[in-house]
Amino acid sequence: MERIKIINGRGEKLAALVFQPADEPCLVVIICHGFRGGKENGGRIFKFAKRLNQRGAAVIAFDFGGSGESEGLFFDMTLSSQADDLRAVIDYAGQRFAAPMVLLGRSFGGSTVLVEGAGDERIAGFILWSTPVFMEETFAAMLPDEYNRMKSGQVVAIRDDFGSYQLGPGLAADLARHNMNHYLQAIGKRPVLLVHAEDDELVSAENARYMQKQLTNASLNLVEEAGHRFLDKTAVREDMTLAWLEELFLQ
């Protein structure tokens, strides 16, 4: 494993982990964490990356600006800023490796994958774990009082399992600018894997069902009793992902 820094479009250093297979990789998987998450995914990235390396794929996992070990302020985070971060990582991967790229995003990281990856022909495939496309509805359900105040221009203070943080009106205003249907259409015939919990308490499974209907080449896997974080079903999600990658990219 290699620890590196990648400069985003705002001049900030993004902290990233690179996992390389023994030989020249046949695929590069770029992994985007979720809202309030980090590149290590609670430590689960290391085992998952090893499994991908064993199958010949390189892995890049990184912290979005303002998260984890990356520079920037979480307060300033928007869907657009995360797309800018992902663009920098894709550029880095394209310069370093001569292999197709697949983007994997968890939750809000999956939304970012759609925004930045859909129009980039360097991306060969997409993996969306528990990903929202009904953006305003999802955030309004997650943060009902706070989101309305953000839309009215206020700064809000929020407390969750990871501690306290603040968000400004920029996030809400930015979400309204993105047409997720446009990104889904831009994917075209490229393959997409959708993995979602049937009982997701934060991002309704209707998001995944909707995406499957809009996409021309999507595989949908709905998992029972997994919740948004898949805490007890991590292996199930990873096995589904590896099987899909082996079928399409790791033959």
pLDDT value at position 4?
98
pLDDT band at 137 (very low <50, low <70, confident <90, very high): very high
**3-state class of 35 per DSSP?**
coil
Nearest Cα residue to 27 out of 1, 56, 50, 7:
56
Report the half-sphere exposure of 142 (CA within 13 A, side-chain side).
19
d(CA 142, CA 156) in angstroms, rounded, equals 14
Helices (H) and strands (E) in the chain, counts: 9, 10
d(CA 86, CA 151) in angstroms, rounded, equals 26
pTM above the 0.75 mark? Answer: yes
pLDDT value at position 12?
98
Sign of CA dihedral 63, 69, 71, 75: positive
- What value does the mean pLDDT take over residues 141-164? 91
Are 101 and 117 in contact by the 8 Å Cβ rule? The answer is: no
pLDDT digits (tens, 9 = 90+) for 183-227: 999 999 999 999 999 999 999 999 999 999 999 999 999 999 999
User: At residue 251, does pLDDT exceed 80?
Assistant: no
Are 204 and 178 in contact by the 8 Å Cβ rule? The answer is: no
